[in-house]
Structure 1
């Protein structure tokens, strides 16, 4: 398994990327600087930097982020829902992206609840369309952590038009990272979400 991050050095505006080289706490890790394309034809350099000395970016910059609804079996059962016949999804626009340790901010003029949801993010590494289920893995670059933040009271503020995109795409509502993990075994993965040291979500 490899873990990839994007970063800027102190006092630099240049976006760079690299591969983590240590299996220790994230803040103590080092990154081997790479050049080229994160998703294709990249090469390692001889330069290794300490993660704690860098300004972390989101591990990639997607053109768009789709969220699936009713896709976790345990949640579907607990809420008495049924598995949909085809994917049900919403859109999070790229203004909401937030890197590791960024601050989620309440939208101006909104006094309602702001909720979090820990999710597994699937990073698509190739342009694709009409991909078969059997070929899907060929287009997946890796996986990352996502905090799908929502202002739920905006969704049905207008009873004639559910505003999913607005409620989920406010600035800072799309935190993800800090890294993208490649070549992982999904059967061994588990998503756990903690809030102030208390585990609030735990699902496989």
Structure 2
């Protein structure tokens, strides 16, 4: 397995590459993974979200356990919505409560698929080859907005606010998701602990089926959906999403005014 991260350098530039032994071995880009020859000490870098997706495709009802709990039928095609690029933040960054919204904000710990090449009408085998690696997602939702208007469920608005898509801390290629579990902690208390192999659609199936509906570009992220244990976040609470082998994604919900003063130490990524 290789671990890939994205950072801001001391001169304000963005660098991407493979992490090994406390150093970043820089590569040209995710969609052009050619080494530049530069090797940078990570202590001099500021971590960012590990990719800058043009879009995030977020699945709903993609776990058998959650479908059973909600008494929903298992879908025949992935059910999804799109989250905007501006909603993305990395580990340690603050989730900002939207101004004027005092309602419930919900966390959803999820596995994320990172696309490595343009993908359209792909077979399952082609879809597997198009996956660059896997990351972690906290798909944040302003839950009270979903059904605020009885005539139009507001999925995009409720899930599309700035900072409402937490990604990171890294992308891991060669990761065996079938043997892994996802754990979500809320202020240190376990709220989710579920096996990834309970997915209705495997990552390869997701990429293949979604590519029949829309073109997937390098750097795009598919949030694989969540399972049981979703809950609300109070202001000041910290959500930490972990998968052994990928690392921990940790973010704190703050009011907009407090966000400018908020800072968390970057999380440690999985060893390569």
Partner of 2:160: 169
CA offsets, 1:145-187, max 9 Å, x none? 0000000111111111111000001011001001000011121
Does the Cα contact within 8 Å between 1:16 and 1:33 map onto a contact in 2? no
Q: Tell me whether 1:34 sits opposite 2:26 in the alignment.
A: yes
SS in 1 for 2:193: strand
Partner of 2:67: 76
SS in 1 for 2:107: coil
SS in 1 for 2:96: coil
SS in 1 for 2:183: strand
- Alpha-carbon distance in structure 2 between the residues aligned to 1:41 and 1:33: 11
Does the Cα contact within 8 Å between 1:6 and 1:56 map onto a contact in 2? yes
Partner of 2:261: none
Tell me: higher relative CO, structure 1 or 2? Use CA pairs within 8 A at least 6 residues apart.
2
- Alpha-carbon distance in structure 2 between the residues aligned to 1:45 and 1:194: 38
Q: Which runs of 4+ in 1 moved over 4 A?
A: none
SS in 2 for 1:177: strand
Q: Tell me whether 1:5 sits opposite 2:5 in the alignment.
A: yes
Partner of 2:185: 194
Q: Which runs of 5+ in 1 are unaligned?
A: 23-29
- Alpha-carbon distance in structure 1 between the residues aligned to 2:105 and 2:145: 10
Q: TM-score, normalised by structure 2?
A: 0.69
Q: CA deviation at 1:45?
A: 2.6
Q: CA deviation at 1:87?
A: 1.1
Q: Which runs of 5+ in 2 are unaligned?
A: 196-272
CA offsets, 1:16-53, max 9 Å, x none? 0121114xxxxxxx132313222334116352413x43
* Count of matched residue pairs: 195
Is the alpha carbon distance of 1:46 and 1:107 closer, same or farther for their aligned partners in structure 2, counting shifts above 3 Å? Answer: closer
- Alpha-carbon distance in structure 1 between the residues aligned to 2:40 and 2:9: 12
Q: Tell me whether 1:103 sits opposite 2:94 in the alignment.
A: yes
CA root-mean-square deviation: 1.4
- Alpha-carbon distance in structure 2 between the residues aligned to 1:59 and 1:46: 18
Is the alpha carbon distance of 1:58 and 1:176 closer, same or farther for their aligned partners in structure 2, counting shifts above 3 Å? Answer: same
Does the Cα contact within 8 Å between 2:106 and 2:143 map onto a contact in 1? yes
Q: CA deviation at 1:188?
A: 1.6
Partner of 2:37: 45
- Alpha-carbon distance in structure 2 between the residues aligned to 1:76 and 1:41: 38
- Alpha-carbon distance in structure 2 between the residues aligned to 1:38 and 1:84: 32
